[in-house]
């Protein structure tokens, strides 16, 4: 979720949480939560015996039975072998050196990062569905919990859960049980267990929103107090939801994320949706990378948010970058939210917010004029800077700062016009009528009107949605490149993540603030967290037509049929990957790029992971890089994108790279000829060999080689962006080709 003061809020709560958790383990206040990872499950092992094994190992490392009992947090053992415990640094070290222990790592906290969006994606309510199969698909959502008793989770007409389901439904505070839509719910808050954190109920709204975006039921008249009124539905409205709560307001602890993966994989979910910030560090220290690897081994695709780090000159920000993860960026839909401000002289200006109040005219003033001191110190309308008698009954014009709506509301103000220099894309609610306008273009006009008028007035109108042309990348959506595997393009794909209306939990106010009393079973949220479930649902939709496809094949189908966004240079593929998803086209991609477990392992060896790192990810102690020699080409992976990252400081770097790819014919026609069409920018030559691929049976594989050569045309260009399209005149299998050089290589 993306909130106005999210980072401050999350950071603050995180500290509180940790202090609380450590206090709980007060007998050893230096102890910290660690995961002791022991790899894949032993053949034929049961949970009970594993738990006893974990206890023995822990007792030996700590040297005290009683402390060992207190220190143990959790035994994993349904999908992989691990346990979590409160440890001192030397105990962690002892454990890490023990035979059978693959790795020991400190648990840290990760951040949390729809009516119309499905129509926008070309999936109308009446789209062709495999209803019988779709209702047997279970989407596991690792998030903040779920509130079941809302229209989005109505279970009418889908019958009892599929028989393959092995999960549980736990009860707890504000959570009385599941239904045939939400078939599973469990909470893992292993470090700070209390009535609230141990309940699967959603006290944040985030998990209810993401889960309903994936598989919410159809419900007409859905809106946030009338705004974005329409029919709400998830992408696969017949599919089932299993919620694994691993997060609370403080974020998501590694020990809980791993517990969620451990349970979900064993429970029998088909797709995993994880809108949680991962780590940009190496895969072997990232619980989402490890958990999703185990999921991939069981044929489960994990779709994750790319992160909300944006593009604001802070370098690469993309997270969740393992190649077996589907990494999702966020873009707008074709619908924008506009909150109009009308001045007393009849002029109207557009701003942005979620304003669900009715419009009324009130006297207007500025923070400058309402300053307590007469020197303009109130222009930000900050705490203690305004004269209450000049605020009461008025709409205030203020330069931007946090939480001004509360200050003005407390003084009896009637509304706020916030003037902000940075372009705003995502809209959120305030506790009084509000609109954010652009400074200085619009802000100065409003202030000049206030300065020059004897009795200025204004109306802040209710927010309207307006249809606009096309889609653009959200500025907050995290950008590549990433440096774990520099020639692997991340993010992979883009989906709507800006101003998305979906189900919401009435256990929290619509603004997330404690003193806001408004609740709703729908809310409008923005973030790559909202984009991820669109891709999870699309993957489930493709699965309902091709239940035998591997996670990589489903991912390939969605990537090669995605539509590139028309924005160039700063936004290129490092922002949107293959482009905006097209779920219907993805059911019939023609060719797919498949990747199996062995190929991922070859790739890991190629990018420099040694045998011990490899064990940390795969959990398999027999995997050994020295015996592997399969990965060829710049990236060593059969990925449906091609990315050459020139790691050079040269002013005029030479482009020279070779990539190898293999496609599988999954089309209906068994005998078919595909021809390559190349689109290359100035300076880049893309050669495909062979450039014609003839298939004479279904599932036949053909390989080709892509050679990139050339020179940068000038000093300014950073990215050379082209494509290869394999076409049989019915299918267009599009592979983006991107060549990048590091910022700074031009000497600027």
Kindly list the residues in this chain that would bind ligand NAG in the complex (CB under 6 A). 40, 173-174, 195, 221, 223, 226, 229, 356-358, 368, 373, 375-377, 444, 447-448, 451, 469, 506-507, 610-613, 620, 622-623
DSSP secondary structure code for residue 172 in this structure? B
Catalytic residue among 54, 74, 113, 206: 206
List, in sequence order, every residue forming a beta bridge with 656; answer none if it has no partner.
709
Torsion over CA: 293, 294, 299, 304 (sign): negative
Query: DSSP letter at 511?
Result: T
Q: How far is the CB of 116 from ligand NAG (least distance, A)?
A: 13
For residue 540, the surrounding DSSP H or E stretch is: helix 528-543
Q: Which of 119, 136, 143, 254 is catalytic?
A: 143
User: Is 143 part of the annotated catalytic residue set?
Assistant: yes
Whether 312 contacts 483, CB under 8 Å:
no
DSSP 236: S
Residue with Cβ nearer ligand NAG (285 or 687): 285
Say how many residues make up the chain: 748
Compare residues 308 and 339 and give the one whose CB is closer to ligand NAG: 339
* Structure tokens belonging to residue 718: 């950073």
The question of whether 420 is a catalytic residue gets the answer: no
Structure tokens at 326: 């589907």
289, two tokens: 């990378």
Give every CB contact of residue 587 below 8 A, 6+ residues apart in sequence.
Answer: 541, 542, 545, 546, 557
Which helix (DSSP H) or strand (DSSP E) does residue 720 occupy?
strand 719-727
What would the two tokens of residue 172 be? 């707890």
Q: How far is CA 172 from the centre of its chain?
A: 27
Cβ 443 to ligand NAG, closest distance in Å? 8
Distance in Å, CB of 574 to ligand NAG, minimum: 24
C-beta of residue 318 within 8 angstroms of C-beta of residue 307: yes
Is 534 one of the annotated active-site residues of the chain?
no
| CA 429 to each of CA 117, 273, 403, 464, 567: distance values in angstroms, whole numbers, following the listed order | 20, 26, 11, 13, 29
Beta bridge partners of 147: none
Active-site residue among 529, 536, 723, 745?
Answer: 529
Q: How far is the CB of 624 from ligand NAG (least distance, A)?
A: 9
List all residues 6 or more positions away from 440 whose beta carbon is below 8 Å from its beta carbon. Answer: 419, 421
As measured in angstroms, the least distance from the Cβ of 94 to ligand NAG is 17
CA 375/CA 233 separation, integer angstroms: 53
Strand, helix or coil at 450? Answer: helix
Taking the CA of residue 698 as centre, how many other CA atoms within 13 Å lie in the half-sphere pointing to its CB?
A: 5
Q: Which of 290, 284, 106 is nearest to 191 (CA)?
A: 106
Q: Which residues have C-beta within 8 Å of that of residue 702, sequence separation ≥ 6?
A: 662, 663, 665, 693, 694, 695
Catalytic residues: 143, 206, 529
């Amino acid at each position: 979720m993306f909130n106005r003061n999210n980072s401050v809020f999350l950071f603050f709560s995180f500290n509180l949480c940790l202090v609380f958790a450590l206090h709980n383990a007060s007998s050893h206040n230096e102890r910290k939560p660690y995961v002791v990872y022991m790899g894949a499950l032993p053949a034929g092992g049961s949970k009970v015996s594993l738990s006893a094994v974990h206890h023995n190992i822990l007792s030996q490392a700590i040297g005290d039975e009683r402390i060992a009992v207190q220190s143990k947090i959790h035994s994993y053992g349904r999908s992989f072998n691990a346990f979590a415990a409160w440890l001192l640094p030397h105990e962690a070290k002892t454990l890490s050196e023990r035979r059978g222990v693959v790795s020991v790592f400190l648990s840290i906290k990760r951040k949390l990062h729809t009516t119309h969006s499905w129509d926008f994606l070309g999936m109308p309510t009446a789209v062709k569905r495999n209803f019988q199969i779709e209702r047997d698909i279970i989407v596991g959502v690792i998030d903040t919990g779920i509130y079941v008793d809302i229209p989005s989770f109505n279970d009418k007409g889908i019958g009892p859960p599929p028989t393959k389901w092995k999960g549980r439904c736990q009860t707890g505070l504000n959570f009385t049980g599941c239904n045939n839509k939400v078939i599973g719910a469990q909470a893992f808050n292993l470090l700070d267990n209390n009535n609230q954190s141990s309940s699967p109920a959603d006290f944040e709204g985030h998990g209810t929103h993401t889960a309903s975006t994936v598989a919410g039921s159809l419900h007409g008249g859905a809106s946030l107090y009338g705004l974005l009124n329409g029919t709400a539905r998830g992408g696969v409205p017949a599919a089932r939801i299993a919620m694994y709560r691993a997060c609370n307001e403080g974020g998501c602890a590694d020990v809980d994320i791993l517990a969620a993966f451990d349970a979900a994989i064993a429970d029998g979910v088909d797709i995993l949706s994880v809108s949680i910030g991962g780590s940009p560090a190496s895969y072997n220290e990232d619980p989402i990378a490890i958990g999703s690897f185990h999921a991939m081994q069981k044929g489960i695709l994990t779709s994750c948010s790319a992160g909300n780090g944006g593009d604001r000159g802070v370098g690469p920000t993309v997270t969740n970058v393992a190649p077996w993860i589907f990494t999702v960026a966020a873009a707008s839909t074709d619908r924008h939210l506009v909150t109009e401000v009308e001045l007393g002289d009849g002029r109207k200006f557009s701003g942005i917010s979620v304003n669900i109040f009715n419009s009324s005219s009130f006297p207007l003033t500025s923070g400058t004029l309402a300053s307590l001191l007469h020197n303009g110190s109130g222009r930000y309308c900050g705490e203690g800077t305004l004269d209450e008698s000049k605020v009461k009954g008025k709409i205030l014009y203020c330069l931007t700062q946090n939480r001004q709506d509360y200050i003005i509301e407390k003084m009896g103000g009637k509304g706020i016009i916030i003037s902000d220099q940075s372009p705003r894309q995502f809209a959120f609610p305030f506790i009084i009528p509000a609109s954010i306008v652009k400074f200085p273009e619009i802000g100065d006009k409003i202030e000049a009107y206030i300065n020059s008028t004897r009795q200025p007035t204004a109306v802040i109108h209710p927010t309207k949605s307006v249809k606009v042309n096309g889609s653009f990348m959200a500025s907050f959506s995290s950008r590549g490149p990433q440096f774990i595997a520099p020639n692997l393009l991340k993010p992979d794909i883009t989906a709507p993540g800006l101003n998305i209306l979906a189900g919401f939990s009435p256990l929290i106010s619509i603004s997330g603030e404690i003193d806001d009393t408004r609740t709703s079973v729908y809310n409008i949220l923005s973030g790559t967290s909202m984009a991820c479930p669109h891709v999870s649902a699309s993957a489930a939709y493709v699965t309902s037509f091709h239940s035998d496809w591997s996670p990589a094949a489903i991912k390939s189908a969605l990537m090669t049929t995605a539509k590139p966004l028309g924005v160039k240079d700063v936004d290129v593929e490092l922002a949107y990957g293959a482009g905006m998803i097209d779920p219907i086209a993805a059911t019939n991609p023609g060719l797919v790029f498949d990747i199996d477990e062995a190929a991922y392992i070859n790739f890991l060896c190629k990018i420099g992971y040694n045998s011990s790192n490899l064990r940390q990810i795969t959990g398999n102690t027999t995997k050994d890089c020295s015996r592997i020699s399969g990965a060829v080409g710049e990236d060593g992976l059969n990925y449906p994108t091609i990315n050459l990252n020139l790691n050079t400081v040269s002013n005029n770097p030479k482009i020279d790279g070779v990539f190898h790819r293999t496609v599988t014919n999954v089309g209906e026609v068994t005998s078919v000829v595909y021809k390559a069409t190349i689109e290359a920018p100035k300076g880049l030559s893309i050669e495909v060999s062979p450039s014609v691929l003839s298939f004479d049976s279904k599932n036949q594989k053909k390989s080709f080689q892509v050679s990139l050569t050339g020179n940068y045309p000038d000093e300014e260009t950073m990215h050379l962006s082209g494509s290869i399209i394999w076409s049989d005149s019915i299918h267009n299998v599009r592979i983006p080709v991107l060549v990048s050089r590091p910022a700074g290589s031009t000497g600027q």
